[in-house]
Structure 1
Amino acid sequence: MVHAGKRSLFWARMKDLHIIDSSLLKELKLCCVKETKFLPKESGLKLMESASAKDPNGVSAKCRDARVEDLWSLTSFFGYSTQTFVQSVSLLDRFLTVMKVQPKHLPCIGVCCLHIAAKMVEEEGNISPTHELIRISQSKFTVSDLGRMEKIISEKLGVEPRAVTALTFLHLYYRAFTSVIPPMEKMPSIVRLEAQLKACFCRLAFSKAKPSVLALALIAHEFETLKTMTLSKILQHLQKNLKISDSLLLHWKGLVASCMAAYCSSQCVKPDHRKLVWIVSRRTAQSLQANHFRVPILPTIPEGSWGEIESEDSFEDSSSGEDSPCGSPGSDGEGIFFPASFLKSRNFFATHVLKMTLLTGKNTKMVRIAKALGLVILCVAVLILSLISYVSLRKDNLFTSSKYYMGGPRIMFHAGFRSQFALNFLDPSFIPLTSALNEELQGKPYKWKFNKTAHYQQRKDIFNFIDISSNFSLTKDSVRVGQLMHFDYSSHKYVFSISNNLKSLLPDASPIRNKHYSVCSVVGNSGILTDSHCGPEIDQADFVFRCNFAPTEVYSKDVGKKTNLTTFNPSILERYYNNLLTIQDRNNFFLNLKKLEGAILWIPAFFLHTSATVTRTLVDFFVEHKGQLKVELAWPGNIMHDVNKYWKTKNLSPKRLSTGILMYTLANAMCDEIHLYGFWPFGWDPNSGKDLPYHYYDKKGSKFTTKWQENHQLPNEFKLLYKLHREGAIKLSLTHCS
């Protein structure tokens, strides 16, 4: 009876609203008027359909479809949006139907259309440089060729930033459906519909359809399996208002169905996104220098060797990347060993010598000498760095204990910092701190004493910017189903809709409301914890914060066992649990969660838009196991705006703050005294001078990585935390605990 009452209320509401909001209908009708302006020429489409794939003077349908699939792969590689892809295909089809194009020019035209679309849609910082676009697409034309082609396309088509496409209608239709359907009705995700639309665009036949008809046919095909009266009613209403006949809709719905069936079959050759990554991975692209740009075809990695390289490169283009030594939210590139400024100066010198040689009219032999000179300079730099490392190793071998020769560790300590300065990993302002660190670690022991006044002043400063208790997690009362959330570190155009399932997982109130602890341990993931024997000391705290679901069992003597809160970046599912695709993956994840009984799992789902899909998988898993797990879930909203604002007052403004310093910030709301462990962003042990791994849980022999440089300012974070340590506001543990 209750459901019947709700349904009657829903139908009454639909009747009052004339099913679809009038302003939305008005927008749809306006787009219908504009759509004809952005359609490809019908006669040109017929010519492409009739052209032979072997015809050197005309572009065939097969040739065009292959180029669109390449655009899809490029869109995926550079992280461009669906709108960019759709706009680029629209430009390509319109240009091919008004101009006579030879197949050999098609790669240049396709890449040019993608570049134009990206400049219209993407933010300036997200647009790939033209030379990178050419290189990754494996094309043979030059940057100037691309510029000339861009001018031709712009003049012929009169490019407009707000072109009406099938994606425009798809989003409007989706809004129409979601605005009126009752909560109990199932709806396919917009991401799924966008993927199906992209598949349709890979077939020339769909370029004949009006965008309004194609989008409605796609939705009709997807909703057909749901067989609900509500959706049918809205579909009919849209048809009637946009004057789309039943026969026309049925025709295109049939074509969509056949395309989807073919696309899902094993025989279909789909756009191979991975193949592009195999050809030039992001790591490889970063390490290629200017002298590679003239190479017409870059060498490719054979497809059969994927198994050999997967462990190294397979996650370079994943949603969030690696966590920092202090538990960073991520960075998605490997980085290069030498800093950009070093390489730039080296390349500038070699280029300058080369130019001077050419200007003085020397022959090719002199050119070779100039190149060799540049190489010699590079070798000398590498030799200097090697000598620094050699000094550290020799001192370590000669003086195994500091009691025999106190100068040994001191030399290693300063050598470690000198190498960091040489590589531009440290700002010169860090230099004054080295003497204080040296005094504490190598000279007279510095006796730390808690300064309650300094701690409370620090807490007060943070509270002036951030209401931590209120912003610690979204709650059931703070959001509504269908509410669109934006992402802290992504463009404002990316959104995430709050679903019924996600809302059901939110706490009724903030998990830390009225929580208060005397001493807290905040544990980062730095390799300095290796063999530190700090586990018992960490576990003595009243509350223990950990970062990024880091393992503790095997390393308990160094990092402890106790966990009261751990962060959980959704990308962890991708990196360690295979997106929960197999029963074994799900069991492993479930068992690891069981070990956290009573702890808070703090899930920053709204930091980056790239984690949206993984977040949905995570939500489904928790709904499926509701009641079986005793972890308390916390889902922070857009907290980072205020957190970043505070740390900017301390001259700390990286692309992204590390998870470690974020956990320290949150700990101020709950803890009277805060002790930090595992906060050391360098690849050498300040106590012994030995090499350290990046994380304490990395495989034995793993090298310290510098990938964090792309997104974080870890040395600067450490500098601020060490200053607070010297003031007594926090305790920063850098020595072994026993």
Structure 2
Amino acid sequence: MRLSVQKLVCVIILLSAIICTITLNKDPYYEDLKKIVNITFTEGFLRKEPCGCLEGCLAATEDEWFKNRFRDDIPPLLSLGNSELPDNITNWWQHLQGTKTKTEYKQAIEELFKVIPKEGHYRDAGPDRCRTCAVVGNSGNLLESHYGPLIDNNDFVIRMNKGPVEGFEDDVGSKTTHRIMYPESAVHLDNTTHLVLLPFKLLDIEWVTSALTTGRIKKTRFKVIDKLQANKDKVMVMHPTFMHYVHTTWLHIKARRSYPSTGFLALMFGLHICDEVNVFGFGADSRGTWYHYFEGLPKRFRGTGKHSGGLETTAIKELTKRNIITVYKGW
């Protein structure tokens, strides 16, 4: 068990007080001293701290801008017990994918949790946990960064879509604990990596159930992996309510048919399951060029499609400025 700085101070105070009793037990202030020591010692050890990190943690920040946006009551991941969707979430989600009924959703959820774990995940924040996370994007600014060891030093390493590791270990690390993806961006995983599905449509939930069992779904928007190599016990699905919360609370977007990028959802996921978040591989390179580190030639992106890239960049800059996250930009 880790002791926080505050608790170590309490121990020192207690030991000092014991020494003092030898010489001060006849002092008129002795009784007052005992009361102060007892109160300090008790408060220091009984106070429930938000995490065990010595350098502070996300849940402990007093930043009003962050506290007005951060909702720890919204689960990042689906479980059988929290899967029912409010009407406003259902309506938003349906606009992303076309019309679907609640009955179809309910059936898809029942089938899903016959295959993957039905329990909740990562709702264990507390004074005994200090979870550090690296959220690793696919930006070309990772090349020649030599961030690999720094990335691997985190407890969780969250990657997204098809970003490869092999051949790029010096710059992007070799460790992957979670890979966030959707059917059209899916890759096969080893037995130790968590698959975190982004369900932009009901068919995505149906796909992951199929891809882990019968392989009957071979096409979503286009041809996809029908039989996925992944550990069923390590598969998770991001909650549509969480995606809506990121969309409306963090990005303040009212347009129904737009949605956050995979990278921004991955970052928000990290904020909600980690005590310390380090961000790598986001944004353009030092020349202002946008491309993926695994592409042969830099390719400028003309836009962000249905994503609000400008709003996401502004939010990330604000989180960095307020020391909520640490962003590594490469060289």
- Give the TM bin, normalised by the shorter chain: 0.5 to 0.7
CA distance in 1, matches of 2:116, 2:95: 22
Could you say which residue in structure 2 is the equivalent of 1:362? none
CA distance in 2, matches of 1:671, 1:636: 15
Could you say which residue in structure 2 is the equivalent of 1:696? 293
* Distance apart, 1:628 and its partner CA: 7.7
- Aligned counterparts, 1:593-672, within 5 A: 593-594=189-190, 597-605=191-199, 607-608=200-201, 612=203, 615-624=205-214, 629=231, 632-639=234-241, 640-648=243-251, 655-672=258-275
Q: Structure 1 pair 621/493, CA: closer, same or farther in 2 (3 Å)?
A: closer
CA distance in 2, matches of 1:508, 1:528: 38
* Distance apart, 1:479 and its partner CA: 4.9
- Aligned counterparts, 1:691-730, within 5 A: 692=289, 694-698=291-295, 700-708=296-304, 710-730=305-325
Contact 2:115 2:232 in 1 (8 A): no
Contact 2:178 2:195 in 1 (8 A): yes
- Aligned counterparts, 1:26-425, within 5 A: none
Q: Structure 1 pair 455/550, CA: closer, same or farther in 2 (3 Å)?
A: farther
Q: Structure 1 pair 532/652, CA: closer, same or farther in 2 (3 Å)?
A: farther
Q: Does 1:735 align with 2:330?
A: yes
Post-superposition Cα deviations, 1:502-532, rounded to whole Å, max 9, x if no partner, equal 2312422112231644321111111111221
Contact 2:195 2:230 in 1 (8 A): no
Q: Does 1:528 align with 2:135?
A: no
CA distance in 2, matches of 1:538, 1:628: 23
- Aligned letter for 1:599? T
Q: Structure 1 pair 488/535, CA: closer, same or farther in 2 (3 Å)?
A: farther
- Aligned letter for 1:622? L
Give the unaligned 5+ runs of structure 1. Answer: 1-449, 574-588
* Distance apart, 1:456 and its partner CA: 5.3
Could you say which residue in structure 2 is the equivalent of 1:510? 120
Q: Using structure 1 for the length normalisation, give the TM-score.
A: 0.30
Q: Structure 1 pair 652/508, CA: closer, same or farther in 2 (3 Å)?
A: same
Q: Does 1:572 align with 2:188?
A: no
Q: Secondary structure at the match of 1:668?
A: helix
* Distance apart, 1:549 and its partner CA: 4.2
* Distance apart, 1:720 and its partner CA: 2.6
- Amino-acid identity (%): 25
* Distance apart, 1:693 and its partner CA: 5.3
Q: 2:100 aligns with which of 480, 483, 494?
A: 494
- Aligned letter for 1:546? R
CA distance in 2, matches of 1:568, 1:555: 20
Could you say which residue in structure 2 is the equivalent of 1:550? 163
* Distance apart, 1:731 and its partner CA: 0.8
CA distance in 2, matches of 1:617, 1:659: 18
Post-superposition Cα deviations, 1:417-439, rounded to whole Å, max 9, x if no partner, equal xxxxxxxxxxxxxxxxxxxxxxx
Q: Secondary structure at the match of 2:263?
A: helix
Q: Structure 1 pair 637/502, CA: closer, same or farther in 2 (3 Å)?
A: same
Contact 2:292 2:298 in 1 (8 A): no
CA distance in 1, matches of 2:303, 2:201: 18
* Distance apart, 1:676 and its partner CA: 0.8
Query: Per residue, is there more strand in 1 or in 2?
Result: 2
Q: Structure 1 pair 549/456, CA: closer, same or farther in 2 (3 Å)?
A: farther
| Structure showing greater relative contact order (alpha-carbon pairs closer than 8 Å, 6 or more residues apart) | 2
Contact 2:248 2:254 in 1 (8 A): no
Compute the RMSD of aligned alpha carbons. 3.4
- Aligned letter for 1:696? Y
Q: Using structure 2 for the length normalisation, give the TM-score.
A: 0.63
Q: Structure 1 pair 459/673, CA: closer, same or farther in 2 (3 Å)?
A: farther
Contact 1:568 1:602 in 2 (8 A): yes
Contact 1:473 1:634 in 2 (8 A): yes
Contact 2:264 2:312 in 1 (8 A): yes
Q: Secondary structure at the match of 1:641?
A: helix
Q: Structure 1 pair 451/488, CA: closer, same or farther in 2 (3 Å)?
A: farther
- Aligned letter for 2:294? Y
Contact 1:489 1:608 in 2 (8 A): no
Q: Structure 1 pair 572/475, CA: closer, same or farther in 2 (3 Å)?
A: same
In the comparison of the two structures, how many residue pairs are matched?
A: 248
- Aligned letter for 2:308? Q
* Distance apart, 1:452 and its partner CA: 5.7
Could you say which residue in structure 1 is the equivalent of 2:80? 476
Contact 2:131 2:274 in 1 (8 A): yes
Q: Does 1:675 align with 2:285?
A: no
Post-superposition Cα deviations, 1:377-402, rounded to whole Å, max 9, x if no partner, equal xxxxxxxxxxxxxxxxxxxxxxxxxx
CA distance in 1, matches of 2:116, 2:134: 26
CA distance in 2, matches of 1:452, 1:489: 36
